[in-house]
Amino acid sequence: MSRVDRFPRKTLFAAKTLFAAKTLPAAMLTLGLAAGTAQASGDLDTYAAEVEAMTATLDTLVTEHADQEGVDDDIARLKQQWSDAEYHEALEEHAQVVYPLIWQAYGGLERALEQDASHREVVAAADQVRSALWQGLGGLRVAYAEPAESGAAVQGDAATVTAIQAALDKALGEYYEGELEEANELIHAAYMEHFEGLEGKLIALDPELVEGLEEDFNATLPKRMEQGNDGQVSKLVGTMKARLDKARDLLAGQEKQEVF
């Protein structure tokens, strides 16, 4: 059964948040036009780890709600994680357009719990929070993209890798929202419009890396999203982004060798 079949696209409690989230692609475009203007590079690995921790708390909350257990402790922990996260501060400073969407998603989840919504509605509201968190991370990747220090080719390649990683974060957000078609379109576009342009350079540097990413983009990730295994999907996206970090380093190293 697909994720779309398991969870409703909209709930009464999350409708306002869902509408706001649908405005994000335009917001992401704005961030993309401003890429490189952020003063701090930011620790994106730290932010990603904080997002993973918050989504793990959401998983616990959903499981305990299904078992008809109290979730007050989970909500309190989630609030504390969000309040303490460096990710939170980074969004507030460098990706303001994404910031309110996360607050709205948290509010939708709290309202669902306060009004004793059905478990399906709570799951949908929790997925809205996941979606907003991952989309926010994608926004920061774009906002923190800075020009490379040497060579126009390096700048272009680094920006391309950043765009691919941001698209993966956005696709993960769409997946958690139950929008499999949109998630797959983002994955396909990231591969066809961005990654393919790097393949010629990368295949000479690390053919196994290229082969693995090709399989992930075209087969493994779409299949796992269709199967609806949240843990496997999130883990694979993290692995792909780490491989893309390696690709960025390889391309930068190649350019330096050519310059000298």
| Boundary of a domain, candidates 116, 146, 176 | 146
Range(s) of the domain holding residue 107: 1-146
Q: Which of 22-36, 51-65, 215-229 has the lowest mean pLDDT?
A: 22-36
* Number of domains present in the structure of the chain: 2
> For a pLDDT cut of 90, what percent of the chain falls above it?
41
| Boundary of a domain, candidates 117, 146, 175 | 146
CATH number, domain of 243, equals 1.20.120
Is the pTM above the cut of 0.75? no
H helix count then E strand count, the chain: 14, 0
Q: Are residues 27 and 121 in the same domain?
A: yes
User: Is the pLDDT reported for residue 47 higher than 80?
Assistant: yes
| Boundary of a domain, candidates 146, 179, 212 | 146
Q: Are residues 130 and 253 in the same domain?
A: no
Instruction: Find out whether 35 and 159 touch, Cβ atoms under 8 Å.
Output: yes
Q: Are residues 134 and 162 in the same domain?
A: no
